[in-house]
């Protein structure tokens, strides 16, 4: 995508709404209060897709914002991870909740099972940071 494409496509929802699709294949114009209230849409029909997030990442890069692009790509990886695992990751990343080994194992799991390399790197970085700042769960503390 070059700057001309950026001008033609951003914002996606206004200039290229047909490119915005949910993981179930619904298009942006399908998402409405009427369709939700009538039951024609289910909650999974209203989620953002990894493809849409990747489009947003490319736009962020073109706009000179690599950190935002990385955040969009991190979010894109999360779209394939089940909600219950996301909650486990969230809880594990809270200070004093996990040992370094637990965090590294979690990172390896999401990288191998979901190809979530960016998120795995984030968890590994958190483990290192928590170790330096003494924010890891004590190995002798066996509570949850």
Q: HEC states along 91-120?
A: HHCCCCCCCHHHHHHHHHHHHHHHCCHHHH
pLDDT of the chain along its 144 residues, tens only? Answer: 566 766 677 788 888 888 888 999 999 889 999 999 999 999 989 999 999 999 999 999 988 999 999 999 999 999 999 999 999 999 999 999 999 999 999 999 999 999 999 999 999 999 999 999 999 999 875 555
Question: pTM for the full model?
Answer: 0.82
Q: Which residues of 79-111 are buried (b: 16+ CB within 10 A; e: fewer)?
A: bebeeebeeebeebbeeebbbbeebbebbebbb
Residue 102 · residue 142 · CB < 8 Å? no
């Amino acid at each position: 995508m070059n700057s001309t494409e950026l001008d033609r496509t951003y914002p996606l929802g206004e200039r290229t709404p047909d490119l915005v699709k949910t993981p179930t294949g619904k298009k942006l114009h399908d998402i409405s209060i009427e369709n939700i209230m009538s039951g024609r849409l289910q909650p999974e029909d209203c989620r953002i897709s990894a493809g849409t997030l990747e489009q947003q990442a490319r736009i962020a890069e073109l706009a000179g914002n690599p950190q935002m692009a990385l955040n969009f790509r991190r979010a894109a990886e999360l779209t394939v991870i089940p909600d219950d695992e996301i909650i486990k990751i969230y809880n594990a990343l809270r200070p004093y909740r996990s040992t370094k080994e637990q965090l590294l194992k979690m990172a390896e799991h999401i990288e191998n099972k979901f190809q979530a390399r960016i998120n795995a790197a984030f968890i590994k970085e958190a483990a290192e940071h928590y170790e330096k700042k003494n924010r890891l769960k004590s190995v002798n503390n066996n509570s949850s």
